[in-house]
Amino acid sequence: MSIELAFRLDRGDFSLDLSLALPGAGVSAVFGPSGCGKTTLLRVMAGLERSAVGHLRVGGRTWQDVNQFVPPHRRAVGYVFQEPSLFPHRSVEGNLRYGLRRSRGNGDSARLEQSIELLGIRHLLGRRPHRLSGGEQQRVAIARALAMEPALLLLDEPLAGLDQKRRGEILPYLERLHRELVLPMIYVSHSREEVARMADHLVVMDNGRVQAEGSLTDVFTRLDLAIAGQPGAETVIEGVVDDYDSRDGVVRVSSDAGPLHAVLGQLGTGQHVRLQVQARDVSVALQAPQHSSILNVMPARIEDLAEQGTGHVMLRLRVGDAVLLSRVSRRSVRELSLEPGLEVHAQVKSVALLG
């Protein structure tokens, strides 16, 4: 079960030309600047761009190839548009039932109930869309798409039209979908934060082409991409909470990088967490520091480094089975003779919980 596609689309000043194989589960984020073709890619996949040439197979089903073009209404796709796009002439429930009634299940109410529950919109069912806030409308739109039990959920910057507060209201719901459903999702975004929180797999697009593709961690830590060159560069590490010390509120998370200690609030053991480590919060030392206030000091090896032009150098460190980015000064690199292959000690000053 996977998603394979290859498409070409020419529109004079813009062209899309890419080929991708995406995992059949989890969130694949498509990241890139505005105008890079992210939305067009989703529209092509949904069958809304008739002039795109190529092929698309979703979970063994062919939606488009040289011989056939399955029209959008016959594709088992759920599409959440960038701006809330509820039908103004139907109530919230009417909107939810619109797609449900027309999909295979023919009004399977169990699935509808689950969608209502997942997005927390039960209290909105009788309302008209214009009485809802932007965030509520978007939650209903997501539930409407989910209720049809799509084979693939396409989300086109569903948070872009919302302010920071509303975004914060929806993200937890999206993360919940991610945790509780096996449904593959393609999440288009130009927000690094959303990608860090949501994505398992990452596709970086630029000018209608795929610039990089791979697991979130791999792509985020590739020093040849602009994504790792930004001031907010970070590493995302997933792990499981295995201890909580109530004396000083420190959580121990076992991860590919080894045990990480951090003050993250009270978390239950066994809980799956996604952690963020900012590159600027990671420093290196040639010898294991003694009597340090830093909780996490781990043996590491420098894999790669890249100049950042501002007197900084970005290091990619191998720590256990994980990779960490570390942003240090050029002077430190010279004075410590940091170079690829060198064994160091990585000091992680701060670890944040994503979501």
Q: CB nearer to other proteins: give 119 or 322.
A: 119
Run of H or E including 211:
strand 209-215
Q: CB nearer to other proteins: give 14 or 87.
A: 87
Q: Please name which of 158, 282, 309, 301 lies closest in space to residue 226, comparing C-alpha atoms.
A: 309
d(C-alpha 324, C-alpha 51), whole Å = 43
Give strand pairing partners of 255. Answer: 239, 258
Residue 300, token pair as written in the block = 């590491």
Residue 13, token pair as written in the block = 């000043």
Shortest reach from residue 131's CB to other proteins, in Å = 10
Shortest reach from residue 33's CB to other proteins, in Å = 23
Shortest reach from residue 103's CB to other proteins, in Å = 5
Shortest reach from residue 37's CB to other proteins, in Å = 18
CA separation (Å) from 129 to 111, 163, 173?
21, 18, 19
Instruction: Give the residues lining the site for other proteins (CB under 8 A).
Output: 46-48, 71-75, 77-79, 81, 85, 87-89, 98-99, 102-103, 130, 144-145, 148
Shortest reach from residue 104's CB to other proteins, in Å = 9
Which own/partner contact pairs does 310-315 have at CB distance under 8 Å and 24+ positions apart? 313/338, 314/223, 314/228, 314/229, 314/233, 314/279, 315/284
Q: CB nearer to other proteins: give 15 or 39.
A: 39
Q: CB nearer to other proteins: give 78 or 135.
A: 78
Q: CB nearer to other proteins: give 40 or 326.
A: 40
d(C-alpha 220, C-alpha 210), whole Å = 15
d(C-alpha 191, C-alpha 154), whole Å = 16
Q: CB nearer to other proteins: give 24 or 78.
A: 78
Shortest reach from residue 210's CB to other proteins, in Å = 24
